Amino acid sequence: TNYRYLYPHAGMPQSAQEVHKALACEGVSVIEVRRENGHWQFVQGSRYNRRIHGNSPINLSGPAAGHELLKTRADAQGKTVLGTFQNCANGKTPWGTYLTCEENFTDCFGSSDAEQKFDAAQKRYGVVATSKDINWHQHDSRFDMAHHPNELNRHGWVVEIDPFDPQSTPVKRTALGRFKHENAALAETTDGRAVVYMGDDERGEFIYKFVSRDKINHQNPKANRDLLDHGTLYVARFDAGDGNADHPKGQGQWIELTHGKNGIDASSGFADQGQVLIHARLAASVVKATRMDRPEWIVVSPKDGQVYCTLTNNAKRGEDGQPVGGPNPREKNVYGQILRWRTDRDDHASNTFAWDLFVVAGNPQVH
């Protein structure tokens, strides 16, 4: 939200009312359009038109719903949250709903205690006492980590919206994990289950996929209402590749992020599956997933099912425990690259795949 245009004083919010206004400007617009005389027209007054913004009631569902880390004074049950904001891109499900992805949510939080000590999970998700030029916490205590630390955990999810039911309440699908989501790319396994590929858009973070437990019902879209609440979350681990400077390629595998498996248990700081999903970044580190060069947009080719991910850049590649190699072959990567992978047996349920770098961007004589 651009404060220069939002407020008459053209500066930071100066009251709770102005924070409320900023929240109302974020989120998602659902509109109906109609083609008339060869042109698309906005249908003013359509029953489908609505705003889903930073003050809208949204349900939490899936394994983390009701978790202690999601409970606040305003929501003792931990199942209803106000708002979706800092939304990045999207996904479209085969059953006709829309997925909006919460990205830089930690920018909205700060602390009235300048000396507050943040725990490992809060630090990993990037929260700081001064916020990031947003300053909601100074006027709305919901965003003040000194008073409501669990509010942070209620954001950073994929939100499912039914645009064809104006009375429906959007749902944050916790089974898909909490991180800085770029988009959600849908695919289908050979046996008919839903797959969601997701990237965590921050330097050194990971690529994930979710595979539903149940099959998609293509005949009855409403039967898929809770499909994304049950399934398995995985994170990608890539090998070092073949070392080919012009067209590197190699093998990879999806590592399950389930409590009690792959070292994810009480000894590594996880009490239950809800905590694994709320702190997905930490769980992915436990299983030694590959730290990537800012995973951004992911798309599944409708032609052959191959998956592409734009890795945007990474000024810290080669530092901070981020080794150079595999699908991230350049130190202090300026221009980024497009990663491609093909699942074994062309089945998105497979836990192994072959990868290559489809495009390595930039001038090799310069960087």
pLDDT of residue 33: 97
Contact 125, 157 (CB under 8 A): no
> pTM of whole model > 0.95?
yes
pLDDT at residue 367 greater than cutoff 80 = no
**pLDDT for 237-294, tens place per residue?**
999 999 898 899 999 999 999 999 999 999 999 999 999 999 999 999 999 999 999 9
Pair type for strands 337-343 and 352-360: antiparallel
Contact 235, 207 (CB under 8 A): yes
E strand or H helix at 276: helix 273-278
DSSP-H helix ranges across the chain: 3-6, 16-25, 120-124, 273-278, 280-286
Measured CA to CA, the distance from residue 38 to residue 35 in angstroms comes to 6
Q: What percentage of the chain exceeds 90 in pLDDT?
A: 96
Q: Across the strands, what pairs with 256?
A: 234
pLDDT of residue 364: 81
* Weakest-pLDDT range from 12-16, 53-57, 131-135, 353-357: 131-135
Q: How confident is the model at residue 306 (pLDDT cuts 50, 70, 90)?
A: very high
Q: Which tokens in the block code for residue 284?
A: 């992915």
**pLDDT for 71-106, tens place per residue?**
999 999 999 999 999 999 999 999 999 999 999 999
